[in-house]
Amino acid sequence: MPATSITPDLVVGEDGLARPLWASRDELLMQYYDTEWGMPVTDERGVFERLCLEIFQSGLSWRLILQRRPLLREAFAGFDVDAVAGFGDDDFERLMSDPGVIRNRLKISSVMRNARATVALRESEPLNELVWGAKPMTTPRPASAADVPSSSDESRQLTKSLKARGFSFVGPTNLFALMEAIGIVDTHLVGSHRRGTSGVWPAD
């Protein structure tokens, strides 16, 4: 059956599954929404990669980042933290001349700096544990796109914590997006087939 809207922000696709508008019209975004977005990522490399992708996404479309992700992984050594932490000036120039990379000097330098900060964190609280420590007591329960917050008290506190530990290009908005992406909060719309499927938060 053709896709039908059940609310202005929620669409039932031909497969009978309800998704938000942003994930209902593009195959790449739909696949990401159905299989990845909001599912728990708890290892250091995985959290580091997602943080890097959120940095690269700033000011750009998420679809572009998903499309470029294989190229970004190749350029940044699979987002291996130790490898990126060891990048030097030659690597920076290589990245700045790579057409597959988001060639923004501040973003690339921030990824390199954040890798070094991630290595340093291992002596106290690893990045993945620090980020997951921002998990709130409750999660949003949005009925519409307008109900989805863009930041939270926890993402603001996480911003302060990461900046104090040497991270750059992090803020309450992109860190909240990270928290959404890796399952720390569940902002799937009520009625979506993905609501409550992460195992982190109970279904409503």
Known catalytic residues? 32, 54, 62
Strands 10-12 and 18-20: antiparallel
The total of other beta-carbon atoms located within 10 Å of residue 177's CB is: 21
In whole angstroms, give the CA distance from residue 72 to residue 67: 10
Do 73 and 125 touch, CB atoms closer than 8 A?
A: no
| 101 token code pair | 């990379």
| 64 token code pair | 């572009």
Do 73 and 52 touch, CB atoms closer than 8 A?
A: no
Listed residue (139, 140, 141, 146) closest to 9, CA to CA: 146
Q: What is the DSSP letter of 195?
A: T
The total of other beta-carbon atoms located within 10 Å of residue 105's CB is: 10
Q: How far is residue 132 from each of residues 6, 45, 154, 204, measured CA to CA in Å?
A: 34, 14, 10, 22
